[in-house]
Amino acid sequence: MKLPIFAANWKMNHGPTDARAFVKSFLAHYPRQQDRKVVFFPNALSVTTVAEAVRDRPDLAVGVQNIHFEDKGAFTGENSAPMARDAGATHVLVGHSERRHVFGESDAAAGQKVQAALRAGLTPVLCVGELLAEREAGETEAVVLRQLRAGVAGLEAPQVAGMLFAYEPVWAIGTGRTATPADANAVHVAIRAALREAIGERAMGVPILYGGSVSRSNAPLLLAEEEIDGVLVGGASLDADGWNAIVRA
Ligand code: 13P
């Protein structure tokens, strides 16, 4: 059975001081849980702080929000997968919509980053999702599956089976506008089918998260859907008490 996954993407919020205070407050009210997993994605500067704070909690993990696809070198301002690992991260978001649409990251770059993550022993969380215009043009599935296939290109089946995926419709991110649980689930079904085509029955065990204006009130409804295995939360993960309420959903 897949454990539901609650992932917090803090984006460019919570530097080390705030991150430390957040985790302290969160841990005080969130005893160890066997039936769910929580993953924090702080900014790179706060990763070590959070990783150290949750070290004794196997139900909690930490990831970075982005990596460069090279392991080291003259890439000013970038962080590599081995460095993220060294800092205490076990996961990495790849191809988040802000990376794709604010920083112009291509499908191919996301594929290179997935490979870099796997080389370093990090679990990639490949994010896919369509723009509003693409949804309105009836291109949702085509866009999502194109991003998916580019993200896993060249990988062996066991590598894909060890990854996580996140469907985040771009129009639902930070807008307060969530996909209905049924609409989200329909895209998850298409993602599952594409994974099944690629890696067979192992696809059934791969977690597919939903993200985009997830809140305390809609999280239980989304998680009740057959193919939604977890949530990837931005704004509503920034407050320790609010996040606690979501992960207890
Ligand atoms: P919001 O929850 O703020 O819409 O952000 C979603 C997201 O981008 C998570 O990665």
Q: Where are the alpha helices (DSSP H) in 123-239?
A: 132-136, 140-151, 157-161, 181-199, 219-223
| Residue 29: active-site member | no
CATH of the domain at 141: 3.20.20.70
In which region does residue 148 sit, left (phi positive, over 0), alpha (psi from -120 to 50) or beta (all else)? alpha
Please tell me whether residue 233 adopts helix, strand or coil conformation: strand
Ligand 1 centroid–CA 87 distance in Å is 24
Give per-residue pLDDT as tens, 103-119.
999 999 999 999 999 99
Q: How confident is the model at residue 2 (pLDDT cuts 50, 70, 90)?
A: confident
Give per-residue pLDDT as tens, 164-223.
999 999 999 988 888 899 999 999 999 999 999 999 999 999 999 999 999 999 999 999
Q: How confident is the model at residue 249 (pLDDT cuts 50, 70, 90)?
A: confident
| Residue 168: active-site member | yes
Q: Which atom of ligand 1 is nearest to the CA of 41?
A: 10
Domain, as residue range, for 148: 5-247
User: What's residue 55's pLDDT?
Assistant: 94
- E-strand stretches of the chain: 5-9, 37-41, 60-64, 91-94, 123-128, 164-167, 208-211, 230-233
CA–CA distance, 77 with 45 (Å, rounded to integer): 12
Give per-residue pLDDT as tens, 71-107.
999 999 999 999 999 999 999 999 999 999 999 999 9
Ligand 1 centroid–CA 8 distance in Å is 9
**194: how many CB neighbours lie within 10 A of its CB?**
18
Give per-residue pLDDT as tens, 171-182.
999 888 888 999
Ligand 1 centroid–CA 168 distance in Å is 8
Residue of 65, 153, 158, 161 whose CA lies nearest to 112: 153
Task: Give the chain's domain count.
Answer: 1
Q: How confident is the model at residue 247 (pLDDT cuts 50, 70, 90)?
A: very high
Q: Which atom of ligand 1 is nearest to the CA of 232?
A: 9
Contacts of 207 (CB under 8 A, 6+ apart): 2, 5, 164, 165, 229, 230
